[in-house]
């Protein structure tokens, strides 16, 4: 499959349900789930991300995550494209379980090891929100560290 960003789809665990972002106009999984990298390229009138180097949105999100200055979180040096169903953890609230992301949408994200711990930080973002959570092995016992609405001015 051809992609805007040049990602190797052969390594993706959901490749059988994906038709590729170029063939679908940047919506590989559903009509609602537009890839943020594809959107960035399309806004700039480019056919592929490698034409502009680093995606402006991706670079901005990394700066915003690093500006949060979360103790024990290493510097964010990269974000990956992740399907919502892969990162959509369920959080326990008094009113019942809550999930924040759309399983069919595509997000920027990464997992970073929490310094001095066996737990990890999970980072997820889209054009509107940043989420940093902490969890154990295989996403066990997730806790929200920061859920922040992004400012347009950032």
* Inter-residue contact 120 to 114 (CB < 8 Å): yes
- pLDDT for 85 beyond 90: no
- Give the DSSP per-residue string, the chain: ---SS---GGG-TTGGG---TTTTTS-SS-SS---HHHHHHHHTT-S-GGGTSS-HHHHHHHHHHHHT--TTB------EEEEHHHH---EEETTEEE--S-TTSEEEEEEEEBTTSS-EEEEEE-SSEEEEEEE-GGG-S-EEEEEEEPPTT-
- pLDDT for 29 beyond 70: no
Q: What is the pLDDT of residues 34-63, one digit of tens each?
A: 676 666 666 666 665 554 554 677 888 999
- C-alpha Rg value of the chain to the nearest Å: 16
Distance (Å, rounded) from C-alpha 90 to C-alpha 47?
A: 36
What is the bridge-based pairing of β-strands 91-93 and 106-113? Answer: unpaired
Q: What is the pLDDT of residues 112-143, one digit of tens each?
A: 999 999 999 999 998 899 999 999 998 999 99
């Amino acid at each position: 499959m051809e992609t805007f960003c040049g990602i190797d789809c052969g390594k993706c665990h959901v490749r059988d349900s994906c038709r590729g972002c170029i063939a679908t106009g940047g919506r590989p999984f559903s009509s609602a789930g537009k890839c943020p990298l594809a959107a960035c390229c399309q806004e700039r009138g480019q056919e592929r991300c490698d034409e502009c180097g680093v995606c402006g949105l991706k670079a901005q999100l990394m700066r915003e995550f690093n500006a949060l200055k979360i103790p024990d979180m290493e510097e964010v040096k990269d974000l990956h494209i992740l399907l919502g169903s892969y990162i959509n953890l369920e959080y326990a609230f008094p009113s019942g379980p809550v999930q924040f992301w759309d399983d069919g949408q595509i997000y920027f994200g990464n997992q970073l090891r929490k310094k001095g711990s066996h737990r990890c930080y999970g980072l997820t973002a889209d054009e509107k929100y940043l989420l940093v959570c902490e969890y154990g092995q295989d996403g066990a016992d997730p806790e929200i560290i920061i859920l922040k609405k992004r400012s347009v001015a950032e």
